[in-house]
Amino acid sequence: MRQWLSNIYRLGLKELRSLRADPVLLFLIAYVFSFAVYAVATGAKLEVINASVAYVDLDRSDLSGRIIGAILPPEFDTPQEIAASDIDRVMNDGSYVFVLSFPPRFEADVIAGLQPSLQLNVDATAMVQAGNGSVFLQEIITGEITKFVAGDDTSSTLPIDLIVTAQFNPNLQSTWFSSVMQVINNVTILAILLTGAALIREREHGTIEHLLVMPVTPSEIMLAKIWANGLAIIVAAVLSLWLVVQGILGVPIAGSLTLFVTGTVLYLVSVTGLGILLATFTTSMSQFGLLALPVLVVMNLLSGSTTPMESIPGWLQTVMQIAPSTHFVAFSQAILYRGAGLQTVWPDMLVMIGLGGVFFAIALLRFRQTMAA
């Protein structure tokens, strides 16, 4: 056992030296855990920000003016007036996401209780802004009309006082979600790519023959690659959470980083085993990249890191339970977002241990066959 552990340790040091000597992989690790996290968090926003609004006012009344004046930044840009004949043109060329059209005698019909129609044209190609922005505009319009009819800006016809409390993200900022999830996704991506690339690199450099004549076993080689590349990923992920997520983006980390690192170690056993398994079916880096790409796309898109698991079909939710990324995302969200403790996340950790054993055993079997061949 002592010699076994010594071999794993020394082979792992060799992996770290190989990684240090590869500037491309070092740059990749630094990039995906720094600029890539910042760019996705600040560039791909899910909330409505600076949505463009145009309006056609054929009424020129006090009520239409109140509604237009209530459409304010930062959710919306200052509304721009256009002619009625320009509605189709500006919608077709994408100049505005929303075009609000007030008919003649709009205010008079509201006062008379005739329920006039107010048209809101929406460019639904901007899907997130279209859906959320339409709701916001409807609330603004309803609120202004209600106050106008009541003759009191403070009045409300609602029989209840609805108080909304947003837990874990009080300002509903998508940056809080996307920054942390980008780190989690990058852990999966690099765990597969680095371990697979390490095996491919052994073949391309001809050092796999050196390993075959050494008194080491396939399990020692695999475990060495897992702990060495896993260590690099964990260090990069923790630094990203500290420096980029917390430091630059100002996103708080609610839970224990120690517990998160512990769960990440368990996860890396399975996902790095998957990387080695994929590498055994390829002979070059380009082949490995083509094989890993669809696996990474499915794991990231259907694991709950992009959209909630509840939004995908039930049968697909069941299938994705065999993917370790699904449980790692649930584990990470519980800790990093909601500050959960071990008593909450231990089921996900237990599943990751089980899946890690299965993936490691399959990868080891395939690796032994490849070594023997």
Packing angle of the helix pair 174-205, 218-239 (nearest 10 deg):
150
Nearest alpha-carbon partner for 358 in 315, 309, 305, 321: 321
Q: What is the DSSP letter of 98?
A: E
Which residue reads 């949505």 in tokens? 51
In whole angstroms, give the CA distance from residue 259 to residue 127: 37
pLDDT of res. 215: 78
Nearest alpha-carbon partner for 76 in 55, 49, 54, 96: 49
Vertex 241: Cα angle to 347 and 13 (nearest 5): 85
Domain positions in the chain are 2-44+173-372, 53-150
In whole angstroms, give the CA distance from residue 103 to residue 57: 7
The H-assigned helical ranges of the chain are 2-20, 23-32, 35-43, 62-69, 87-92, 106-111, 127-150, 174-205, 208-213, 218-239, 257-279, 285-301, 314-319, 324-336, 342-372
pLDDT of res. 263: 94
In whole angstroms, give the CA distance from residue 293 to residue 300: 11
> Do the Cβ atoms of 195 and 19 come closer than 8 Å?
no
pLDDT of res. 1: 79
pLDDT of res. 155: 55
CATH 3.40.50.300 fits 53-150, yes or no: no
In whole angstroms, give the CA distance from residue 154 to residue 166: 24
Chunked into runs of 10 residues, the chain (373 residues) has average pLDDT values of 86 87 88 93 81 94 94 92 94 92 94 91 84 91 88 64 83 87 94 87 72 76 89 95 94 93 92 89 86 90 86 90 92 93 94 91 84 65
How far is residue 110 CA from its own chain's centroid?
45
Cα-flanking dihedrals φ and ψ of residue 168, to 5°? 70, -15
Whether omega for the bond prior to residue 23 falls within 30 degrees of 0, making it cis, is no
Ramachandran class of 81: left when φ > 0, alpha when ψ lies in -120 to 50, beta otherwise: beta
